[in-house]
Structure 1
Amino acid sequence: MKLTKNNLDLMKKVFEIKPCVVLRAKYSQACTPEFFKFYDENINVGDHKVLDVEDYGRFISTRSSRREPAITRVITSLAYKVDKKMISLAEGMPNEGVFPFKKLSMDMKKGGGIMMEGKELAAALQYVPSQGLPSLLTELRKFQEDIHRPPDVPRDLMITNGGQHGIYQCAELLLEPGDPIVTTEYAYTGLHSTLKPYQPEILGVPEDNDGLIPETLECILEDRLSRGLKMPKMMYVIPTGSNPTGTVIPVERRMKIYALACKYDFIIVEDDPYMFLNYSGRPIASFLSMDKAGRVIRLDSVSKVVSAGLRGGWVTAPSPLLERLQLHSQAELLHPCTLSQAILLKLVQCRETLGSYLKSARDLYWSRRDALHSALQPLEGLADWAVPDAGLFFWLRVRDVDDVYSMIHTAFERGLMLVPGQAFIYDSNASCQYIRLTFSKIRLEDMSTASQILSEVIRDEQKKSLEKEPKRYATES
């Protein structure tokens, strides 16, 4: 068989891996519904240097830089691109004839469904390139372009095994042991689990009702710079529905934070699993949508709104960084589950159906949030909290109790499970006045009972604290 020039060029990639640059997909001709709008045409973040391939070298960890492409994985990617008439003795893939499944059918709650059989099902059960199922990648590129409309910087995306996988990948990519990392004062526990082996220096920035405070962040960074301390290369943030605080960072703050990333030279890891669970009634531009300089790695996940067990997620990143992330995925798991990717593709392909489902998911959680807020009224005077603008959590500060940890055990003995604030502090042995309440799964009829138990537990704990330090509490009152 005669090799074409295109096939010869592709073969060269087996031994020469270069940064992947994806051509920008065209925006959909139809107007993007507000529910799918995470950009603002009026945003101007100013002029900042666009990072080039050499610039990214200073962010990549020593461990990541040592990774090399697996030739067999490159050949797998090549097999999906070459002329189908190409004869191959290369791929170590199983023959589809050994797969025992004939048909896959899944009915949707709102009608219709997903059905795969024949070659389509066989492809969904086969190895795919580490970057992901090619047809899903194509669809998600369009999806990201439509809903974020990011500036014209070379970037691409890769499928991950859920959002947590993306966090792990970013830490592996960017961090050296002992590095400083910027995050919120209370942060997602999965981040801390990932960071422990690196023994980082946590720069925890306080939040108010509008999330991370950029002015405080700037003070921290300027102080480190003036003292000649090592500067952070990475900032991790959940901008919408922060876990555990439930805050949503307004667009004005996001612009300030992005400007600080450019000024102090760090990468923003934007983890946004609650983007569709925004109860504020206003779409908010993502960090990706304002990324003119190539400083944002965005993590997306369908775990909270479609299925946690599907492990559907993807990372969008500047091309030089995504190249390294693919090497991590090659070594870790070859690629995420192809069947899950094929199911996700079916869901994303029909934007109207997806939008209808996501709205119903948001409305369900919205009503649950309001129900728990009403049920918490007996806690007035015992604890302080704000109604979360997004996500799945209430963040309560218990009054007159320095540490809630023993209170959590008391509540458990009385039939109520709670999460102490220590779960969201890197130093889990530190004292904490906060507890996180989740309204996603609790039965509506159990909310009042839960609130009553919690109020009794808090009163008992406050009484114990008063008995231990009567003089201090007498002075305060």
Structure 2
Amino acid sequence: MMNYRRFLNAISEARQPSPLRVLAEVIDRSPPTTISMANGNPNSTLFPFEEASIKMRDGSSIKIDANDMSKALQYSPTPGLTDLKKLLMTMQKELHRPPTLTSTDENQTDLTITTGSQQALCTACEMLLARGDNVLVGSPLYPGAEVMMRPLGVNFLEVKTDGDGLCVDSLKQSLSKWTPDDIESSPDAPKVLYVVPNGDNPTGGGLPLHRKQDIYQLAQQYNLIILEDDPYYFLQFNKPKVPSFLSMDVDGRVLRFDSFSKVLSAGLRIGFVTGPQALLKRINYHLMASVLHASGISQMFVYKLLETWGMQMFLEHTQSVADFYEARRDVMLAAADKYLKGLAEWSVPRGGMFIWFKLLGVDDTYELITEKAIQKEVLFVPGISFCPDRSKPSSHIRACYSLATDEQMDEGIKRLASLIVEAQKETK
């Protein structure tokens, strides 16, 4: 059995449920004949919004009637609107089949809806990490994770990545200071592994199944919690999709973060975290003390869409989104083959929206990208933005293929090639 208290920091241990938030869940479960004079909700008949109709791109429409609108506008339970949470639990069961879904212990799978997966991840970090903790992270590292972890005072144990994602040998090397036998008694032993398994930002890498299995076994040996940050799950170019860490989590040591930002809407800000009940409870306590719950209107939008579409139509939609980005990737790869041979190196992205270029003969891309590229009217992100250790120079850049047209990508990569040639001349 997992000892979840080992992973909680002092702040999270001290959190208690808000009695008013608990009451909201009691009211939500109560039969309609219940007379409540307990809750402090405003009277929804005074809200100026009554109903809405959402026009879809295919010409159809989705109706939010007065009853659903009233639910969306009112306070709701912290874990999310009941109907949407049930639907998302069904989705996780069908897509990932968590081994602990039917457990009766603290490791039983639970789910909470959040304001995007970023909020869920940030809350989890504030629950698990304390000043001085060693945290295992891939290098390069998604900057959104870096900026939420660094102020907590943690130390980054960098694990190398390649086109297949996190490197198992590098992870073993990072753990080699400790042994599985003394992990519990070592105060500096890492307790958390952060990983983006699909369409890694910035590398586009994707973990194959055998690497995931090896990584999960190491997590078991060294008693690690895996933060599976997977906003690009539906943007995998692999067919079939590679099984998730959640799908192999027999212990209840995986917190999985999903998002609708890349496939439905970034602005709706709806994500969800799935994992062991013991940890989800602590995340909920944090939310009770901060945002209370994710936007009811956004949750209702997503619920009515998924209810109307059904799982099959939703998956067909996400596949069309993945096909779109795969085609965009191929356009940028064609431009790279055309202009960057001998000037840069890169791996073929397995998903997502990014290509990670290593510029040859350029030790540090910061000035090249933040000054000279801007002068040539082409924008990329310098590699140092993704380095856990910002003191080290980076010869890499990140290119995004989500928005630029075919012609713009061709011209943009052409301009990049000329910048590299100029930089190489300057260093000779």
Same fold (TM over 0.5): yes
The residue number in structure 1 matching 2:142 is 188
Indicate which of 339, 359, 363 corresponds to 1:402.
363
CA RMSD, Structure 1 to Structure 2 (Å): 1.4
**Percentage of identical aligned residues:** 37
3-state secondary structure, aligned to 1:223: coil
Indicate which of 243, 248, 254 corresponds to 2:201.
243
2:286 maps to 1:334: no
Residues 241-281 of structure 1, C-alpha deviations (whole Å, 9 max, x = no match): 11111111111110110011110011001011111111132
Kept in 1: contact 2:254–2:275 (CA 8 A):
yes
Larger CA Rg, structure 1 vs 2: 1
The residue number in structure 2 matching 1:5 is none
Give the counterpart letter for 2:25 in structure 1. Answer: S
Kept in 1: contact 2:139–2:388 (CA 8 A):
no
Indicate which of 415, 419, 423 corresponds to 2:385.
423
Find the aligned partners of 2:351 and 2:263 in 1 and give their Cα distance: 13
The residue number in structure 2 matching 1:103 is 51
2:248 maps to 1:287: no
**1:229 Cα offset (Å):** 6.9
3-state secondary structure, aligned to 2:176: helix
The residue number in structure 2 matching 1:270 is 228
The residue number in structure 2 matching 1:380 is 341
2:425 maps to 1:463: yes
Matched ranges for 1:57-456 at <5 A: 57-152=5-100, 153=103, 154-225=108-179, 230-349=188-307, 350-376=310-336, 377-408=338-369, 409-456=371-418
**1:185 Cα offset (Å):** 1.1
Find the aligned partners of 1:267 and 1:323 in 2 and give their Cα distance: 16
**1:463 Cα offset (Å):** 1.6
Find the aligned partners of 2:238 and 2:83 in 1 and give their Cα distance: 34
Residues 26-84 of structure 1, C-alpha deviations (whole Å, 9 max, x = no match): xxxxxxxxxxxxxxxxxxxxxxxx42xxx000001111111111111111111101122
Residues 286-345 of structure 1, C-alpha deviations (whole Å, 9 max, x = no match): 000000011100000011111100111000010111100001111120111011111111
Q: Which shows bigger deviation, 146-155 or 233-242?
A: 146-155
Matched ranges for 1:38-53 at <5 A: 50-51=1-2
Give the counterpart letter for 2:274 in structure 1. Answer: T
Give the counterpart letter for 1:95 in structure 2. Answer: N
Give the counterpart letter for 2:331 in structure 1. Answer: A
Kept in 2: contact 1:224–1:230 (CA 8 A):
no
3-state secondary structure, aligned to 1:276: helix
3-state secondary structure, aligned to 1:397: strand
**1:425 Cα offset (Å):** 1.3
Find the aligned partners of 1:334 and 1:465 in 2 and give their Cα distance: 55
Residue correspondences, number: 414
3-state secondary structure, aligned to 2:289: helix
Find the aligned partners of 1:281 and 1:347 in 2 and give their Cα distance: 25
Find the aligned partners of 1:171 and 1:123 in 2 and give their Cα distance: 31
Find the aligned partners of 2:32 and 2:356 in 1 and give their Cα distance: 55
Find the aligned partners of 1:296 and 1:444 in 2 and give their Cα distance: 39
Residues 424-454 of structure 1, C-alpha deviations (whole Å, 9 max, x = no match): 1123342001100000011222111101111
Residues 205-226 of structure 1, C-alpha deviations (whole Å, 9 max, x = no match): 1112211111221122122448
Find the aligned partners of 2:252 and 2:383 in 1 and give their Cα distance: 34
Kept in 2: contact 1:106–1:115 (CA 8 A):
yes
3-state secondary structure, aligned to 2:29: coil
TM-score, normalization: structure 1?
0.84
Kept in 1: contact 2:158–2:388 (CA 8 A):
no
Deviant stretches of 4+, over 3 Å = 224-229
Find the aligned partners of 2:386 and 2:306 in 1 and give their Cα distance: 32
Q: Which shows bigger deviation, 192-201 or 109-118?
A: 109-118
3-state secondary structure, aligned to 1:57: helix
The residue number in structure 2 matching 1:10 is none
Q: Which shows bigger deviation, 197-206 or 346-355?
A: 346-355
